[in-house]
Structure 1
Amino acid sequence: MPTFQNPTADAAEASEALRGLAHATRTFENPADTYTVLGDLLAGVRSLRQVLDQLATAHSTNQVRAYDDAGNQGVGASHAFTAAAELRQAAALLDGMHDQVDAAMGASGRIAWRPAPSDSVPARRVGIVFLQGQDADEVLAIIDRDGTDAAIEHLAGFDMGEETTQAALVNGYVYDTIPAGPLDRTTTAGIYTLTYNHDHGHVSLLRTHPETREPDAGAPATRTAPSHPQPRRQVPVVEDEDDWFAPSQSSSVSRGRAL
């Protein structure tokens, strides 16, 4: 805290505060904060100019007490005179600096800062496969025995690439958030996200789909997973044999269908 009486102590504190400010202003999370900093700096420049004037006065009014190391008063007085002149010149230069900072603050105050643009588009996910009952039991066994990465690798065999993506878009199995219930477990490996639930006996695999194109006219809108998903159910088949999003009726995991 400033003493307002001890110049050496207050000068040391001002130096430390400026050192801290130099460190803190390396980055600005909110550029609107620059206006406040400029205002405080402007006040600081005014105070600094006053300090320089007062330092110059202290040198000039105490010339009779100025000596050099050899005890020569004339040489000491000359040094005091030179120091006072240089300090007054520095104070005059600060007038221009004050005007420049004041102009910068005025321009900064007219800026309406907006949030930083996002560098990435939030990725959506397309449903690859959903299994339940006996079809899911085999995959749940893989998870217990070999881990989730092995289960993801196994279920990735249902991913037919663009064919799967287009089928998901047609049927509306594209999600802004992961469709998982509060008791489901979720894990991600690369572009795939696995959700599973031992108690309810189901597993599903989704793939990242970063494109942001609008759905075709008449196509179902992109889904947002509800906070409390409804129980899973079978969905109508679009084509007799090529619908990868209808749950399998077989007991073989190899015949599972996507969401």
Structure 2
Amino acid sequence: MKIGSLLVSLRYDGEFRSRSGERRQRYAYRIEDLENPDFGIHISSDLMSAAHADVDLVDALRTLTSFLAAAGEAYSYTLRLPGSEPDNLHLFPLWVAESAYLNADEMAIFHADAADAVNRTARWISIVFLQGPEVEEALELLNKQGPNALVVCLAKQDFGEETTRSAVRCGHVYERLPSSDGYHLHHQEPYALIYNPDLRHVGLLRQIEHLARQSPSPDRISQRPGRSAALPRSL
């Protein structure tokens, strides 16, 4: 993948299990600046997925370029405040941070294109959003069995057209997938799982190709007490 003058390559490097038993996917990557060959080449295999995630090279590339963007932003901070040591400055060798800074615009375009690739074809409706005491069971399932198992569990609350009508009536329809710092995204068609272990938030959305033109049915859709389909406004 060429991003400005940066040439970034990525490959799957196998599964990694921590001492606590968490399963993560590991990726190796290579970075060079084609316009500055004297910088050399940076090679590493320290990129890890979220716990129990499946192999996803596209998501891993997005994660890697997010780290690059953070390093570039940290480098720009040192130019404004000489002598400062921002936290993200040493995510990579200093020349990588400098190159990321010089290619900041191209990096932003790459992220926008990646987001559009996910969102361009459909709208999304919220199936359920969990927080508070009831989210603990979902997070426990996520930690023990991974996101696929959690999607299967939460999808039991999707009643097809009934759920779609309820989401339209309540305004729980989104042109794009919600995103915010600290939230993880897992795709399992036609669903998207979002979760933030720190804030104890879990949500499930379903992709829909179109919405019916007629007014939504006034039928009442029952929900379990304490469970909402509304996503937080901060997302």
Whether TM-score is above 0.5 comes out as no
- TM-score, normalised to structure 1, is 0.39
- TM-score, normalised to structure 2, is 0.43
Larger radius of gyration: 1
Q: Which structure features the higher share of strand residues?
A: 2
